[in-house]
Amino acid sequence: MTRKSICLIDDDPAELTRFHAALEKWFLVGAGLTIRDALKDLQERGGRRPALFLIDLYHPEGAGPTPEQRSELHAARRRFLDAHMQFRALLSKHGQTTIGGINLALDLPRGAPFAFFTRKGTLDDLVDTYDSLAVALIKKPDPGTQFGSNLDDAYDRAARDGAARIANEIERAIRQASWAKKHALALGRLEGIAIGVVASLIAAGIAWRFDFFPPRQTAPRPAPAAKAH
């Protein structure tokens, strides 16, 4: 089976090496710090036009971080992951998991469009969102860390400040749901038409067979001669 070509662009050489090795079993991977570098690497490996560009989202706009800065980032990332795991464990302890929201979605009428609305969502949750056929995951406005002594007031203020952004995302989710429904109906109609066409062709083929190759007519057998008495 021919491997599809992809280009991986990341500012961290270690990540390029890591994911090139991890993905080369399935894809022909061109990797580089820039788009040009990745395309050149792909061509040198015998690849052509990539089927997909896999781009590091947090890619620096200028020069990449120095080794010292990268070490600082890794240490901060480690502290973040530790705090995140503690927070997720606390959510689970109090019965707040994504299973509850997904079960709510399963209780909706069949085919009803839905989006998840959360302040706690992560990238992993986003993947689960689309696996559950949600049209979007919309993030609730977050006051961050500057909320003073009253968290509820900070949430109210963030909701007011972020209302326009939320409205735009809801409108986009509605359009996506409408587009998906419309095209699903169109595909259903095309499937019905295709089945009808195939059935017609089969019927026409049978008729053609009988027109050009009519059933063989067999001569009637002569009646047996009467026995003499």
> Which range marks the domain in which residue 53 is found?
4-63
In degrees, rounded to 5, the angle at the alpha carbon of residue 103 between the alpha carbons of residues 97 and 106 is 150
Which 3 state secondary structure label does DSSP give 106? helix
Number of domain units in the chain: 3
Helix axes 123-131, 98-106, angle to 10 degrees: 20
Q: Is residue 227 part of a domain?
A: no
Which 3 state secondary structure label does DSSP give 5? strand
| 38 and 50 together in one domain | yes
Cα distance between residue 153 and residue 160, in whole Å: 11
Asked if 173 and 138 count as a contact pair (C-beta separation under 8 A), the reply is yes
Instruction: Give me the mean pLDDT over the 182-206 stretch.
Output: 54
| 117 and 206 together in one domain | yes
| 14 and 88 together in one domain | no
Over residues 146-172, the pLDDT tens digits come to 666 677 888 888 888 888 888 888 888
Parallel, antiparallel, or unpaired: how do β-strands 136-139 and 115-118 relate? parallel
Higher pLDDT, 129 or 77: 77
| 8 and 81 together in one domain | no
Cα distance between residue 12 and residue 67, in whole Å: 10
Cα distance between residue 75 and residue 67, in whole Å: 12
| 72 and 162 together in one domain | no
| 114 and 197 together in one domain | yes
| 15 and 79 together in one domain | no
Q: Is residue 143 part of a domain?
A: yes
| 75 and 124 together in one domain | no
In degrees, rounded to 5, the angle at the alpha carbon of residue 162 between the alpha carbons of residues 139 and 114 is 40
Q: Which two tokens stand for residue 105?
A: 């979605």
- 36: amino acid identity, one letter: R
Asked if 4 and 22 count as a contact pair (C-beta separation under 8 A), the reply is no
| 14 and 90 together in one domain | no
Over residues 74-124, the pLDDT tens digits come to 888 889 888 888 988 888 888 877 788 888 888 888 888 888 888 877 777
| 194 and 118 together in one domain | yes
Q: What's the pTM value of the predicted model, to 2 decimals?
A: 0.57
**Nearest alpha carbon to residue 65 among 104, 142, 113, 13:** 13
Residue with tokens 């006051």, as numbered in its chain: 143
| 116 and 206 together in one domain | yes
| 180 and 131 together in one domain | yes
